[in-house]
Structure 1
Amino acid sequence: MANKEHISALVDGEIQDKVLLEQLGRDPELSDTFGRYHLYGDAMRNELPARLQLDLSDRIAAALEQEPAIVASASPGKSSPQPGQVLRARFGRLAPVLRHAGQFAVAASVSAAVIFGVQQYSQSDPQAPVLNTIPLSGAAAPVSLNYQADTQERMSEQALLEQQRRINALLMDHELQQRLRQN
């Protein structure tokens, strides 16, 4: 019987074994292994087709046939247990503790939501609070959608640039007038 190393060598072209090729034609398991190895090689060489034809129906049908059947038989005198009875039977004394922990978790989340809501909606200032952050450059920068200082800084930068442009124009005019007087 051929092992997987021989099949791999055959796929890679390292060996040429006619007996192994005949075994591949007869044995579907070896044939599947041979096909998978070719698929692995195509994937490594980045030569996969746009659509792969993978037929899994035979494997699924075989797995379903091997699956044991589940038969539910109810005793005529007994009724099926309720979910709460099963929980109490399995966890015993742990069930009340879990119930109280769940109630505590719900109460804590409701309390947190109420506190957050009160803090957000009870502010008298209509603008959102400004948070100060320290970026990598080391200077603190206010962060908010409603923060107006950022636009004021841009306006002051524009005014500063305009002032520098005017000063440069005056200096250029002065220099031009001095050259005209010298001539």
Structure 2
Amino acid sequence: MSESKFETVSSLVDNFHHEDALLDDVLKDNDMSETWQRYHLIGDVLRDDVAQSIDIDLSDAISNAIAEEPTVLAPLKKPSLPSVVKAKVVSMVKPFGQVAIAASAAGLMVFGVQTNVADNDTATPYQVVQTGLAVGGVAQPVSLNFQQNTRADQQQAIVEQQRRFHALLQDHKQQMKFSAVIPSSKDK
């Protein structure tokens, strides 16, 4: 459709031209009549008169479309022989599988308990942490199972304490001699 026909239809919609010949042309030409309808629809939308001018009834169109659709009838599926046999085998094997899992769990539990008991039997008792004796006296153990040392054990502990003390004293004297022989960096 040419530009001049669009302008003609637009001027008719806007009521600028009232010529009967133009109206006859619009009625005879399908393109011009569709353009006429579109222009009026645009005007109705701009004026917010759409609800009054458009009557949409979709229910009839939908019911007609459903009625025209072909009906597909699918045959019922018959179970094949292998699937029936497979279902029976699964139902027979399932309890055996459950028993096997339970037996495995029980066996692992027994093995774990026996291993734990065997480890506890061969274990040595806990070792007591040995701490040095205090310089000024004899330390007393804080255990309930402690048996009082005999006189010989006490004498041996005193001798050991004196030996350690003399070793520390000797070491201190040597350190003092070495520090006196080596000139310090402050003297230079």
Regarding TM over 0.5, the answer is no
TM-score (norm 2): 0.26
Higher relative contact order (CA 8 A, sep 6+): 2
Larger radius of gyration: 2
